[in-house]
Structure 1
Amino acid sequence: MARPRIRRGLMCAAVASAVAVGGTAAGTAYVQARAHPAVRAVSSAVTPSASASGEAAVEPVARPSVDRDALLAEAMASVPVEDGAEVSVAVLDLQSGQGAAYGEGAFDTASIVKVDILAALLLQTQDAGRELTAAEKSYATAMIERSDNDSASALWRTIGRAEGLDAANERFGLTGTEGGDGMLWGLTRTTAADQLALLRQVFGDDSELSAASRSYIRELMGRIAVGQRWGVSAAGDGSGWALKNGWLPRTATGLWDINSIGRVTVGGRGVLVAVLSDGNTTKDKGVSLVEAAARAAVSVLTGQASPSATASATAG
């Protein structure tokens, strides 16, 4: 049964939650209609005012916030999207705390949910005070590095399927993600904002996951099989990345869901990126769309295009 798409308002709320760092606003930008902007450039400039003693006093003056959502929308205007296809992207600079989001609605996860499955498993093992078994480690390695579906199904059962995933996601701060029915973990529905929240759990310090659990997921995401090293990694400078991709051809339409999430490095800065798309006529076109969206998102935060972006464009 098809689930209703989650609209922009929920996505923006989730982005705001996703980038709360250490209990403070981490600086994500979103539409100007939001009542409480999470990205603001506050100036140290002051203006004089009269104090009760007659001496000049100073008051801080807030400068207008930077609407990086609007900047990202401008950048995305040059990204070619096929008729009928949809794309959504969320991005966060871990160093500056600045972020942005584009697009709306929920998408099927395909294989990017495998990161969520592993995070849920590790959270459960932490709660139980135990380590992963040898079998669980073997499944986790195959599931993340090679995107093995049988391994994902085994761990999906271990965590309690959708119920276990949803329980973990509630603690992770994901508000727009719903586990797939039965064994259909690939049809879990999510938003780009929620995937950014999940990446924050893996790559941030303020996390429900222990340092050991976070390090374990990062290590596996940094060893993706050679043929699967596409997607958000195209937005980095080649000095370091960790990612997980998802691709799913729909039998009813022949169209492709193509998704990519992960961390890239640009000029020594770590940037989290989540790109979701559907309605692509081919896998290759979907990959091109996801990579172009990732480069656009990262450029908005860093102000520069990555060398890999040029290489991809040259290669066609």
Structure 2
Amino acid sequence: MADRSLSRVVCTSAKAGLADRLTKDIRAAVADTGAKSHTSVALYDRTTGTQCTYDADRQYDSASVVKTIVLGTLLRQAQDENRELTSTQRALATKMITKSDNDATTALWKQLGLGRIKAFLRLAGMKHTAPDEKGYWGLTQVNATDQLTLMKLFTSNNAVLNKHSRAIALDLMSRVISSQRWGVSAGAPSGATVHLKNGWLQRTSSGWRVHSVGAFTGEGHDYGLAVLTADHGSMPTSVKAIESIARKVHADLNGGSTHSHSVARSQNVPTTSDGSLVPVHGQ
């Protein structure tokens, strides 16, 4: 494990002892994920002034976590045009986020166009996120840093997304269907509202890309967590790795107590790819 460079876990916090605890626990969880796999972590907690990263700039195929970017672009378009989402857009966005529907995503991607999506990424400051130029939206290149940037935009006052847009995004991410509520939700405080999006893509070479991104709000909670993985041997193994990290993070941020969201999901997750390797022509 020497080549895993666990010293790259960097945490800072305004709360005494928290950064050291998170650093130790994230290192331990990552060390258990396997020498040939890749894992990236990014965390913020506004309540305690905490930030953590581990290999957060590594690039990954996005799989379905790109759908939060599509949602952000759609909401920004409606803002720019001073209107609500149309009923069709609202229905497609709901399917895209709550059920990870690929046809809905393709329809919105084509409607928005690659130029508008890139413009949103620039506006959002997601400098290292790059859509696939051949039109495969599931191969958008993402990293944990930029994924967490988007969670911050969804959960705080900013010039990119207004209060109404943010409320729509968080509402949809809080209504993800039960079979997809694994990942960074594991171990979350029972009183928190979990806003979640996952992605899981199997490539013909190098194994799985499995990611989980979320924000946790309500009852004094205000934090976000992104865990991106690649090259694990199976979908359940990937989810287990993500959930191990998530449980440690939630426990450290919330006094080490056990919470109702801590039940393992890794035995009930899909075993087939999310189908996000879909080409969009004429984008």
TM-based fold match above 0.5: yes
- The Cα offsets for residues 74-103 of structure 1, whole Å up to 9 and x where unpaired, read as 212322212311111111113233211112
Q: Secondary structure at the match of 1:208?
A: coil
Compared CA separation, residues 127 and 309, structure 1 to 2 (3 A): closer
Q: Quick one: which of 205, 216, 232 aligns to 2:157?
A: 205
Q: Secondary structure at the match of 1:234?
A: coil
Compared CA separation, residues 206 and 284, structure 1 to 2 (3 A): same
2:123 alignment counterpart: 171
Gaps of 5+ in 1: 1-7, 13-28, 32-38, 43-64
Percent identity of the aligned residues? 32
Structure-2 separation of matches of 1:267 and 1:260: 23
Matches within 5 A, 1:140-219: 140-161=93-114, 163-219=115-171
Structure-2 separation of matches of 1:148 and 1:173: 26
One-letter identity of the residue aligned with 1:264? F
Please say if residues 130 and 140 of structure 2, whose CA atoms lie closer than 8 Å, have aligned partners that are also in contact: yes
Structure-1 separation of matches of 2:151 and 2:266: 30
Matches within 5 A, 1:1-316: 30=10, 39=12, 41=14, 68=19, 71-79=21-29, 80-104=32-56, 105-161=58-114, 163-239=115-191, 240-253=193-206, 255-264=207-216, 268-308=220-260, 311-312=263-264
Compared CA separation, residues 250 and 159, structure 1 to 2 (3 A): same
Structure-2 separation of matches of 1:314 and 1:120: 31
Please say if residues 144 and 226 of structure 2, whose CA atoms lie closer than 8 Å, have aligned partners that are also in contact: yes
Q: CA RMSD in A?
A: 2.8
Please say if residues 249 and 256 of structure 1, whose CA atoms lie closer than 8 Å, have aligned partners that are also in contact: yes
Structure-2 separation of matches of 1:305 and 1:186: 37
The list of structure 1 runs, each at least 4 consecutive aligned residues, that deviate by more than 6 angstroms after superposition, is: 313-316
Structure-2 separation of matches of 1:179 and 1:304: 39
Structure-1 separation of matches of 2:262 and 2:68: 29
1:52 alignment counterpart: none
One-letter identity of the residue aligned with 1:213? S
- The Cα offsets for residues 116-138 of structure 1, whole Å up to 9 and x where unpaired, read as 11101111121122222221111
Gaps of 5+ in 2: 269-283
Q: Which moved more, 1:173-182 or 1:257-266?
A: 257-266
